[in-house]
Amino acid sequence: MIALETTVNGRPVSLEIEPRELLLDLLRERLGLTGAKRSCDVQVCGACTVLIDGAPVSSCCTLAHEAGGRDVLTIEGLARKPEFARFEEAFVRHAGLQCGFCTPGFLLTLKALLEAGELGSEEALVHGLDGNICRCTGYRGILEAAGELAGLELA
Amino acid sequence: MTVAPETQTFSQVGKSLSRVDAGEKLRGEAQFVGDISLPHMLHGAVLRSPVAHARIASIDTSTAEALPGVACILLGRDLDDIDPHYGHAIKDRPILAVDRVRFAGEPVAAVAAEDAATAAEAARAIEVAYDELPPVLTVEDALAEDAPRLHEGPLRAGLFHGLGELREPEGNVCYRYRIDRGEIESAFDHAAIVVEGEYTFPAVYQYAMETHSVIAHVEEGTGITLWASCQHPFLVRAELADLFGVPLARVRVLVPFLGGGFGSKSYTKMEPVTVALARKAGRPVKIVNRVDESMVTTRRHGMRCWMRTAATGDGRLLGRDVRFFLDTGAYADNGPRVTATAGDAAPGPYRWAAYRVDGACVYTNTGPAGSYRAFGAAHLQWIGESQVDEVARRAGIDRLQIRRENLLVPGEELRAGGKPLDADLIGDVEQVAGALGWEEPKRPYTGRGLAVGLLAAGAHPVSSALARLESDGRVVVLVGTTEVGQGARTVFTQIAAEELGLPPERVVVQGADTRYTPYDRSTGASRSTTLAGLAVQRAAADLRAQLVEIAGGDELDPDDFPALLVRRFGFAGGELLGRGEVRPQGTGSYAEGPVFWEVCVGGAEVEVEPDTGVVRVRKLVTVADVGKAINPQLVERQDEGGALQGLGNALFEELVFADGQVANDTLLDYRVPKASDLPDEMTCVIVENGDGPGPFGAKGCGEGAQAAVPAAIVTALADAGVEVKELPLTPERVWRRIRELKEEGTWPN
């Protein structure tokens, strides 16, 4: 076992972990933060996306100890931030979700892209969200919601 | 039941109410089975066969059992106190392989341990010796005269076979569906045009992002409780009660939110093995499949098909002759129903003098195939529509015109004794042509396609609902429909609010706990708005009738509901209970059905890059012919989702088998559509003719696009000059076809 000191959603976390423990398992099984989902296990689908120091990572392929000394933001943390209301409004207005399994990953990816100023065009939006799979919606509602958040007029 | 929408004004119906579950899903609070933990819960792992067909020579669990943290190991032979076979259509499948494995991926042993990693490690430590048997890996192999039989003895009907008497199996054919109408040979004898071809359709993976997940708890007193990612909790309950020999009331199935289904969570999947393991462990057990495990839990049927179509020289369709073989894998799962539905879709909705359909459901040593969105129609529509287009080409008439002249009109018979056509297909296809710009000039290497088809929808029409009016004037609707992303709870909220004149925020829809929610047959076959929605409407109407009676002539105002309850019960408590039931008019048999014909109409414009074979979809048009759109935004989003799955199915999705194993068993190798795969333009036309059997004239949607879109893409590509008879339309396949056409001198570009 090794010691882990990290910050999750603004709160300090101090735990003994197995060296092999994945960040996704730490969040879901030990901290009860089940908003990040397990699906593909190979960093393709984006359902497990969380932010480490503001950058999106696939927590299914990230060792928990890599979060040591850094800030982890999950959907539960984002949902408590004042800016969340904008995300919620846009996704509700455009019905940018169906089953909801991929939704937290999309929101966190979007937050990172918005903050990095990487959503300047429709192409950038599609490119930025290509690492998140949604099997239900066909993406139109998600892209419309994301476009609204990025201040883009979509064709 | 049918109401012409324009004659009625609605307060809630026809409005795009925001999804009632949006907030909890966006905040990450919505619970799926994998998010639930019980006290003292163990984690399960399944050891699966690495070979396609073998006798199990020996199993040694000693190393696995010695691992710290392992609670118990379950083998097939441990289940000797029950008949361990299940299958809603054909009872052909053991919970765990007993002495023989029939596909690579078949569960052989299950382990329960204190954590998931230990369970997985223990499963790997079980040593199994296999004596391999010759496998049959394709329908051709399975149909060969000397092919090994996968299942011996007579077939045993499952609880929900639903398709008449089971016949003796013919070799590896477990079910056969035949239709023979009119004088087929005479139709072909009199034809000036005959189009004939052989076609291949791939197995695909539904990829519900939430993999199959189950938590089971078995207690002496309360019986079996499970949280399951299943679409049909009442059918799962029945199969578990049957398997484990307990009354229905001793099996409780709870379904939280489902992370997608698309048919992959229909009927019974991982529930029996989880219950069996929990029963042995004496503690709750959770099993969550990996993606590669879900791929061998269920998939879509691959198919080989031969079809010919006869027509007069001026393009009047005369006859169609179809034979197809569906690869159902090692166990039937929903194969018989898929075969029948494919058979019904095979002729296409045209005015035939004669047609003959012969469909076979064939066992092979591959993972079992079951339901996937628009099954049957997705299999046959692209083939039938390709042949209609070829007839038009040879007759020298426009492809829209041939459909105008040959499509059935409402009221015409489709299947002897079954429901006649209940949709305006010609109007629908005209809508597609308009949105596609059918007459406009095309760029080079570009083609357009139109596709029309029907899907037998609704399944068996039994649904019920309860509406509880609480003393604060709010209503709780209890209905067994599962919320799989389709928005059922939102639509039911609108229906109940409409019927009672309530604002939607005073309605709560609660679902899918077989102990407390009334019976709903299933969530699939595009049935929920139509059938469960009708039950909700009737439950709300029943409440309303009770309120009218209590009001005794006073006008009904929702703000007075609490006062009316006080009048009834004499205090600020009590509740009114409204009951809604939907049951068949006749027997509800498959032959009398379907509940409605789901419209599968769409169009596409594609551009092919001749040097690479890459097909780019420029435009997609789908028609949601829904009778009445209770929530237009959700209808449109359903159609878009189906359209994009259809696009993936048409262009690149395919399970690749090597020696019976899935060779592309990760999302790295099995590609599904991403945002960048969206067509340049996408249009969903909502058609509301009030001709559905559901509430307010509604009928179901969501599957039609998945059948229509591949057919439209295939026919558009043929219009661009590349006729392909095998899906998916991968660049390599398209490029090779273009090279062949060039060699033949028939490449038109």
Q: Which tens digit of pLDDT belongs to each residue from B139-166?
A: 999 999 999 999 988 899 999 987 777 7
Token pair belonging to B10: 């609605």
Q: Which three-class secondary structure string do you get for B126-192?
A: CEEEEEECCCCCCHHHHHCCCCCCCCCCCCCECCCCCCCCCCCCECCEEEEEEEEECCHHHHHHCCC
Contacts of A134 in chain B (CB under 8 A): 209
- Interface test mutation site (partner B, options A135, A139, A144, A154, max chain B beta carbons within 10 A): A135
Nearest to B44 by CA among B225, B215, B209: B215
Contacts of A54 (CB under 8 A, 6+ apart): A71, A73, A112, A115, A116
Contacts of B485 in chain A (CB under 8 A): 98-100, 136
Token pair belonging to B729: 């339309």
Contacts of B209 in chain A (CB under 8 A): 37, 39, 45, 47, 99, 101-102, 133-135
- Asked if A41 and B30 come within 8 Å (Cβ–Cβ), the reply is no
* B672 min Cα distance to partner chain A (Å): 8
Q: Which residues are paired to B252 by β-bridges?
A: B225
Contacts of B565 (CB under 8 A, 6+ apart): B469, B471, B473, B572, B574, B575, B576
Contacts of B335 (CB under 8 A, 6+ apart): B89, B174, B175, B301, B326, B328, B329, B361, B368, B369, B370
- Asked if A140 and B678 come within 8 Å (Cβ–Cβ), the reply is yes
Handedness of CA A17, A21, A26, A29 (dihedral sign): negative
Distance CA A80, CA B517 (A): 33
3-state helix, strand, coil in chain B (%, to 5): 30, 25, 45
**B456: enclosing H helix or E strand:** strand B446-457
Distance CA B82, CA B98 (A): 13
Q: For tokens 């006062």, what's the residue?
A: B563
Q: What is the maximum span of chain B, computed from C-alpha positions, in angstroms?
A: 89
Contacts of B262 in chain A (CB under 8 A): 135
Distance CA B344, CA B338 (A): 10
What is the distance in angstroms between the CA of the first residue and the CA of the last residue of chain B? Answer: 53
Distance CA B632, CA B640 (A): 12
Give the one of B34, B637, B667 whose C-beta lies nearest to A98's C-beta: B637
Contacts of A74 in chain B (CB under 8 A): 28
Please give the order of strands across the beta sheet that includes B576-582: B507-511, B475-479, B463-469, B576-582
Contacts of A103 (CB under 8 A, 6+ apart): A91, A96, A97, B25, B26, B28
Tell me which chain B residue has its CA closest to the CA of residue A20: B117
Q: Which residues are paired to B685 by β-bridges?
A: B623
Determine contact, residues B224/B250, Cβ cutoff 8 Å: yes
- Asked if A135 and B672 come within 8 Å (Cβ–Cβ), the reply is yes
ipTM above 0.85, yes or no: yes
Contacts of B119 (CB under 8 A, 6+ apart): B42, B43, B44, B45, B70, B111, B112, B113
The pTM assigned to this predicted structure is: 0.97
Torsion of CA B418, B424, B426, B428, to 10 degrees: -120
Token pair belonging to A19: 């060296």
Q: How many residues does chain A have?
A: 155
Distance CA A8, CA A74 (A): 8
Give the one of B290, B641, B675 whose C-beta lies nearest to A130's C-beta: B675
Distance CA B638, CA A99 (A): 11
Distance CA B219, CA B111 (A): 19
Give A3: exposed, middle or buried? Use CB within 10 Å, 0-12, 13-18, 19+: exposed
Q: Which residues are paired to B43 by β-bridges?
A: B113, B286
Q: For tokens 């039609």, what's the residue?
A: B704
- Asked if A88 and B32 come within 8 Å (Cβ–Cβ), the reply is no
Distance CA B647, CA B606 (A): 11
Determine contact, residues B372/B300, Cβ cutoff 8 Å: yes
Distance CA A88, CA A107 (A): 9
Helices A84-93 and A103-115, packing angle to 10 deg: 120
Determine contact, residues B359/B178, Cβ cutoff 8 Å: yes
Distance CA B361, CA A153 (A): 50
Print pLDDT tens along chain A (155 aa).
999 999 999 999 999 999 999 999 999 999 999 999 999 999 999 999 999 999 999 999 999 999 999 999 999 999 999 999 999 999 999 999 999 999 999 999 999 999 999 999 999 999 999 999 999 999 999 999 999 999 998 76
Contacts of A87 (CB under 8 A, 6+ apart): A78, A107, A110, A111, A149, B26
Give the one of A44, A79, A141 whose C-beta lies nearest to B668's C-beta: A44
- Asked if A136 and B674 come within 8 Å (Cβ–Cβ), the reply is no
**What is the rounded radius of gyration, in angstroms, for the C-alpha atoms of chain B?**
26
The count of other CB atoms within 10 Å of the CB of residue B100 is: 17
- Asked if B485 and A136 come within 8 Å (Cβ–Cβ), the reply is yes
- Asked if B32 and A143 come within 8 Å (Cβ–Cβ), the reply is no
- Interface test mutation site (partner A, options B17, B27, B638, max chain A beta carbons within 10 A): B27
Distance CA B479, CA B498 (A): 17
Q: For tokens 């696995």, what's the residue?
A: B64
- Asked if B675 and A143 come within 8 Å (Cβ–Cβ), the reply is yes
Cα B8 from chain centre: 33
Q: What is the maximum span of chain A, computed from C-alpha positions, in angstroms?
A: 53
DSSP code, position A11? E
Q: Which residues are paired to B489 by β-bridges?
A: none
| Amino acid letter, residue B581 | E
Bridging pattern class, strands B657-658 and B661-662: antiparallel
- Asked if A39 and B211 come within 8 Å (Cβ–Cβ), the reply is yes
The count of other CB atoms within 10 Å of the CB of residue B71 is: 21
Token pair belonging to A30: 């030990």
Contacts of A40 in chain B (CB under 8 A): 291, 666-667
Torsion angles phi and psi, residue B194, rounded to 5? -130, 125
**What is the rounded radius of gyration, in angstroms, for the C-alpha atoms of chain A?**
15
Distance CA A136, CA A63 (A): 29
Say whether B729 sits in a helix, a strand or coil.
Answer: coil
- Asked if B27 and A76 come within 8 Å (Cβ–Cβ), the reply is yes
Q: For tokens 């169906």, what's the residue?
A: A98
Determine contact, residues B251/B234, Cβ cutoff 8 Å: no
Low-confidence spans in chain B with pLDDT less than 70 = 1-7
Q: For tokens 């925020």, what's the residue?
A: B505
Distance CA B420, CA B285 (A): 48
Nearest to B204 by CA among B590, B650, B525: B650
pLDDT of B2 reads 32
Number of helices and strands in chain A (H, E): 6, 5
Give the one of B290, B634, B673 whose C-beta lies nearest to A41's C-beta: B290
Give the one of B262, B634, B676 whose C-beta lies nearest to A95's C-beta: B634
